[in-house]
Chain A
Amino acid sequence: MIESAQIQRAIKIAEKRTGLNWSVFVGDLGAEPRAEALNRHGALGPAASESVLLAVDPAAHRLEIVTGTRARRRLDDRSCALAAASMAGTFAVRDLDGGIARGILALVEHARRG
């Protein structure tokens, strides 16, 4: 359950403007963050193909953005990389909520209309 109003507002905007499903995970991503993020994205079930997952491991200072098969058509990897760089910059100044919200909104700006 997301408690940050900032992130909730960003997700609401993102879902309204893109029609994609947006998920945020903050916690331990283990030794292989990418694999763990892919597992968590796959656990979203049938909605995974149209989902975007932002997984952040504050302790390990790692973040992963995973886009489903259909979501990827509208949100390419280059855009995700730009958003990841933006998020990492905000995380570096210890603003976790702001970084996630900013990353979501950056992805929304780059997403093609469905």
Chain B
Amino acid sequence: MAGTRVEYRCAVTIRSAKRAAVRAGTVAALTAVPLLAAGSAFATDFQGEDAGPRLSVLTTIGIFVGIPVGLFLVITFLVMLPGWVKGDSNRAEIGWDAKSAAKTEAAAPAEEKTGTEAKAGAASSGTGGASGSW
């Protein structure tokens, strides 16, 4: 076609087309590789489930009851351990723990009591409140 001249004012269009072709080829290749590799897996007679050997009653109880109960006991022990070692000072201060309150009463003179006992003493004078330490 003599005399006909096509001008591409923007060369980016050609490069975009090449780039799109390369991109499509890459995507197709990457998609095909896993599918081809998976073919060998489908070649086996694996039906999607494998029951395995039958569990005995004891084993079943051990797995579904023993392990959860064991974990519960271990976690409970770890939570309670600091309180057993150091004592629950907050409860001793505010007088909710009967054992701690009894220990405080036995160990300290009357005016040094903390918690409920101190409040009861203050109540006789009409005032109230609470004590604490940290």
Contacts from A to B (Cβ < 8 Å): 32-35, 37-38, 41, 49, 53, 60-69, 71-72, 75-77, 80-85, 87-89, 91-92
Tell me, yes or no, whether B53 is within 8 Å of chain A by CB: no
Name the residue in B128, B129, B134 with the highest tally of chain A Cβ atoms < 10 Å from its Cβ. Answer: B129
- What are 18 sample pairs from A and B whose C-beta atoms fall under 8 A apart? A32-B111, A38-B125, A63-B132, A63-B133, A64-B132, A65-B131, A67-B129, A72-B126, A72-B128, A72-B129, A76-B128, A77-B119, A80-B128, A81-B94, A81-B130, A85-B90, A85-B94, A92-B134
Of A65, A77, A88, which is within 8 A of B123 by CB? Answer: A77
Task: Count A-B contacts at CB 8 Å.
Answer: 89
Q: Are A91 and B134 in contact (CB under 8 A)?
A: yes
* Given A69-B126, A72-B126; A84-B131 close (CB under 8 Å): yes
Which of the four size classes fits the interface of chain B? Answer: 20 to 34
Q: Is the interface of A mostly helix, strand, loop or mixed?
A: helix
Q: Are B131 and A64 in contact (CB under 8 A)?
A: yes
Q: Considering the chains assembled together, what is the distance between the CA atoms of A2 and B99 in angstroms? A: 39
Q: Shortest beta-carbon distance, B104 to chain A, in Å?
A: 14
Q: Considering the chains assembled together, what is the distance between the CA atoms of A92 and B132 in angstroms? A: 12
Q: Are B130 and A65 in contact (CB under 8 A)?
A: yes
Q: Are B95 and A81 in contact (CB under 8 A)?
A: yes
